[in-house]
């Protein structure tokens, strides 16, 4: 088999399948190679199924608090098997949706493991990686192993859980997020190593269902990429929820014992303590999938474990591109999607813009939620600009009070001279849905005056965004 394409994409995750659809829309003959599951990690093991699980935890929590809202019912019971089954059903539905969209746009799907073997040439072999999930049957009409030619090849192979020495997962008692998403029963206790977004989301999920959770982070702050004030508020909230949090702490040793795992924790002052946990979740980040693709032999530059690219996905070798996690941070699905669109538009000669990474929102789906865009206060101070900073607490918002969710804060950071919005940070209910308002404002280069004159509906949670802007300039009304 020796097929020729305008664009061939390796990896059908959010970046890959979105790039394929956009390329097809632009009239380019397109194929996408996938070794395991359409939709990639995000749809099958990340963004979507984790949110389904977190929704189950939220419903469980609300059911337990129903008497507060005047609803009487028996105490809820957490059925983890059904929760996991529902999350898999959600992923399966979307997996089928991706297959439909690719077929609709006449994108060829090739199942197998790809390797670049020369200029414009890709060899696809049967996948050597056993699927984490039972392999779904390839879509009708999907192609298989063979050699394929393409004028432009986009690498969108994503990332995998990062491994720490001594914390290598065993699929049983030491978990990555793969195992944490499909337990057959709830453990009595869980040690979560790493307090980034993945770590805190799973810590919240398991604690909400009654598991004793200890969260360990090597850095002094949980959620290191977030504004320090927001992270500190989140930490206090998580601790009130019953999560034990240990920062500036590492796992010095982990011993398997009958019925438990014994972890030796080393703190910043050199002191140690031991704790026992039934399960350990290693959530210390991810590593880009750059191996086994034939990149080095073709001269593609790899820096700090990711493929080096320009703002439009172009690598050091003409005709080879990279998008998404494999092209570096931030390793987020929405970043991958927009990189994919910009990349294929540049290939097609359509006027486009390089991705502005300073305007990519980040979201954490705990309860309360966390969302941010732009500079933290610390980073804003490093610019040397004069700053105006506004804060507004959820406890002063009527809708939040009615919902019974008054924990949280909205923080906005402006350039004092120009009124330019430099950063926005939300901690509270539906923060991940609200952040897009600030992202749009930044993209449109909206000033503080325009934001202050914008009418926000009442009663809504979005009013806290307006009040935070007002507060930055001494004009807050409701506090």
Q: 3-state DSSP call for residue 286?
A: strand
Token pair 């001279």 is at which residue? 417
User: Any binding-site annotation on 371?
Assistant: no
458 catalytic? Reply is yes
User: Any binding-site annotation on 284?
Assistant: no
Q: Which residues contact 214 (CB under 8 A, 6 or more apart)?
A: 189, 190, 191, 192, 243, 244, 245, 246, 275, 277
User: Any binding-site annotation on 200?
Assistant: yes
**Contact call for residues 9 and 30 (beta carbons, < 8 A):** yes
Read off the tokens for 1.
Answer: 């088999």
Nearest-angstrom CA–CA distance, 219 and 235: 13
Intra-chain end-to-end CA distance of the chain, in Å = 69
User: Any binding-site annotation on 52?
Assistant: no
User: Any binding-site annotation on 199?
Assistant: yes
Q: 3-state DSSP call for residue 251?
A: strand
Which alpha helices (H) appear in 2-158, and where do they start and end? Answer: 14-25, 40-45, 47-64, 80-104
Read off the tokens for 373.
Answer: 């865009």
Secondary structure element (H or E) that encloses residue 152, with its range: strand 146-155
User: Any binding-site annotation on 377?
Assistant: no
Q: Which residues contact 172 (CB under 8 A, 6 or more apart)?
A: 179
CA dist list (Å): 236 to 109, 221, 231: 48, 12, 9
User: Any binding-site annotation on 104?
Assistant: no
User: Any binding-site annotation on 310?
Assistant: no
Q: How many CB atoms within 10 Å of residue 385?
A: 17
User: Any binding-site annotation on 333?
Assistant: yes
User: Any binding-site annotation on 195?
Assistant: yes
User: Any binding-site annotation on 51?
Assistant: yes
Helices 431-443, 463-472: inter-axial angle, 10-degree rounding: 50
User: Any binding-site annotation on 285?
Assistant: yes
User: Any binding-site annotation on 332?
Assistant: yes
Nearest-angstrom CA–CA distance, 415 and 52: 39
HSE value, Cβ hemisphere, 13 Å, CA-based, for 360: 18
Nearest-angstrom CA–CA distance, 266 and 247: 10
Read off the tokens for 478.
Answer: 């409701």
Q: 3-state DSSP call for residue 443?
A: helix
User: Any binding-site annotation on 1?
Assistant: no
> Active-site residue among 37, 338, 353, 458?
458
CA 145 to chain CA centroid, nearest Å? 31
Residue numbers in the known binding site for FAD are 51, 325, 331-334
Catalytically annotated residues: 458
Residue numbers in the known binding site for NAD(+) are 194-201, 217, 285
């Amino acid at each position: 088999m020796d097929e020729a394409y305008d664009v061939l994409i390796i990896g059908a995750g959010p970046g890959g399948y979105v790039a394929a659809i956009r390329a097809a829309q632009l009239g380019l003959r397109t194929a996408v190679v996938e070794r395991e599951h359409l939709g990639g990690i995000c749809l099958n093991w990340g963004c979507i199924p984790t949110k389904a699980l977190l929704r189950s935890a939220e419903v469980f929590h609300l059911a337990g608090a129903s008497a507060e809202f005047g609803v009487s019912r028996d105490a809820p019971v957490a059925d983890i098997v059904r929760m996991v089954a529902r999350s898999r059903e959600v992923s399966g539905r979307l997996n089928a949706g991706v297959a439909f969209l690719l077929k609709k746009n006449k994108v060829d799907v090739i199942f197998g493991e790809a390797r670049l073997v020369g200029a414009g040439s890709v060899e696809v072999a049967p996948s050597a990686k056993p699927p984490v999930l039972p392999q779904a049957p390839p879509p009708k009409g999907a192609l298989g192993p063979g050699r394929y030619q393409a004028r432009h090849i986009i690498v969108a192979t994503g990332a995998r859980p990062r491994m720490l020495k001594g914390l290598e997962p065993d699929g049983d008692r030491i978990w990555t997020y793969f195992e944490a998403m499909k337990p057959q029963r709830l453990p009595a206790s869980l040690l979560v190593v790493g307090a980034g977004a993945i770590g805190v989301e799973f810590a919240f999920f398991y604690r909400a269902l009654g598991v004793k959770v200890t969260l360990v982070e090597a850095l002094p702050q949980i959620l290191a990429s977030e504004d320090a004030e927001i992270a500190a508020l989140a930490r206090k909230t998580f601790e009130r929820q019953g999560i034990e949090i240990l920062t500036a702490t590492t796992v010095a040793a982990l011993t398997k014992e009958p019925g438990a795992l014994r972890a030796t924790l080393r703190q910043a002052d050199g002191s140690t303590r031991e704790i026992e946990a039934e399960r350990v979740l290693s959530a210390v980040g991810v590593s880009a999938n750059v191996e086994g693709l034939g990149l080095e032999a073709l001269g593609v530059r790899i820096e700090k474990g990711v493929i080096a690219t320009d703002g439009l996905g172009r690598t050091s070798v003409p005709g080879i591109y990279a998008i998404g996690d494999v092209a570096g941070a931030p390793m987020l699905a929405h970043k991958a999607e927009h990189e994919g669109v910009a990349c294929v538009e540049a290939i097609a000669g359509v006027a486009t813009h390089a991705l502005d990474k300073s305007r990519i929102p980040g979201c954490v789906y705990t309860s309360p939620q966390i969302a941010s865009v732009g500079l933290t206060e610390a980073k804003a101070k490093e610019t040397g600009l004069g700053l105006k900073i506004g804060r507004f607490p959820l406890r002063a918002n009527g809708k939040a009070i009615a919902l019974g969710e008054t924990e949280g804060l909205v923080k906005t950071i402006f350039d004092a001279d120009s009124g330019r919005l430099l950063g926005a940070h939300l901690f509270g209910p539906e923060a991940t849905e609200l952040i897009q308002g600030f992202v749009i404002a930044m993209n449109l280069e909206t000033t503080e005056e325009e934001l202050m004159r914008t009418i926000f509906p009442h009663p809504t949670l979005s009013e806290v965004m307006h009040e935070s802007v007002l507060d930055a300039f001494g004009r807050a009304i409701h506090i």
